[in-house]
Structure 1
Amino acid sequence: MTGIKSSTTGSGAEHDPAQQTLAHADATALEVRALYEQIEQRILQRTWTLPELAVGFTNDAAYVGRLVLAAERTWDIDGDVDAELKHKLAECMWWLFVLADKLDVDLPAAYAETMQKIGGGLRG
């Protein structure tokens, strides 16, 4: 893999509440992924590959598009649109943490760095 996962020690990240929250979400996402892997091993005798994980993410991300249309009342779905939208957006975050782990990307650190870079550029 890419080998770009980095430690946040000494970077100031340990004092950044947003990054700490993302780091906690990352750890929780990987715990849930481990539970799915146990089910996959039992049923498939293997775990999902990186491409299979990516397809799972793109499927859920595409459904977010339909839910946005439903929230705008241009697409009809069964069920509670707001609840479904919250669930799918959270699930998409989960997928991102899982994919980042498989690609050896420290997503909380990458997010903080990217937002700082984009924000700095926008502020002038």
Structure 2
Amino acid sequence: MDLDELRRRALRIHDLYDELNLQESGRVWTREEFVLGFMGDVGDLAKQVLVQEGARSVRPDSQAALEHELADCLWSVLILAHRYGIDLESAFVRTMGELEKTISARLDP
């Protein structure tokens, strides 16, 4: 699945959440609420990393939980990019290019 397919799938889930939120609370999430949700996802991801590294008790489904949290975080990033009108693919390519130049310039020749 490429980035466009991931984005389309993420937007479908976003739209379903909008429908559900409208039905349950009469409104959809704001961009600020999406950021807060993302922060929660990152916190959940951090907990799963601690499980993987042995700093928290391991559960039988720990690998699946880590996969789930990584997917949640990716979903949030895709949705935030959409909600802010960011071309994530271009931004990623540009940012990685800048980082590569910066890091390479700091490495010993």
TM band (smaller chain): 0.7 to 0.9
Aligned residues: 105
Equivalent AA in structure 1 for residue 51 of structure 2: A
Residues 18 and 28, structure 2, Cα contact 8 Å, conserved in 1: yes
TM-score by length of 1: 0.77
1:47 maps to 2:36: no
Higher relative contact order (CA 8 A, sep 6+): 1
Deviation string for 1:1-48 (max 9, x for gaps)?
xxxxxxxxxxxxxxxxxxx92222112111110111110111111101
- When the two chains are superposed, the root-mean-square deviation of aligned CA atoms in Å is 1.7
Equivalent AA in structure 1 for residue 78 of structure 2: F
Q: Which residue, out of 86, 91, 94, partners 1:105? A: 86
TM-score by length of 2: 0.86
Distance 1:93 1:79 in 2: 24
Once the two structures are TM-superposed, the CA of residue 115 in structure 1 deviates from its matched residue by: 1.4
Structure with bigger helix share is: 2
Q: Which residue, out of 40, 60, 64, partners 1:59? A: 40
Distance 1:111 1:41 in 2: 33
Q: Percent identity?
A: 29
Deviation string for 1:43-85 (max 9, x for gaps)?
1111011111111100010111111111111112545111000
Partner of 2:19: 38
Equivalent AA in structure 1 for residue 77 of structure 2: L
1:89 maps to 2:70: yes
Q: Partner of 1:48: helix, strand, or coil?
A: coil
For structure 2, list consecutive stretches of 5 or more residues without a partner in the other structure: none
Once the two structures are TM-superposed, the CA of residue 118 in structure 1 deviates from its matched residue by: 1.5
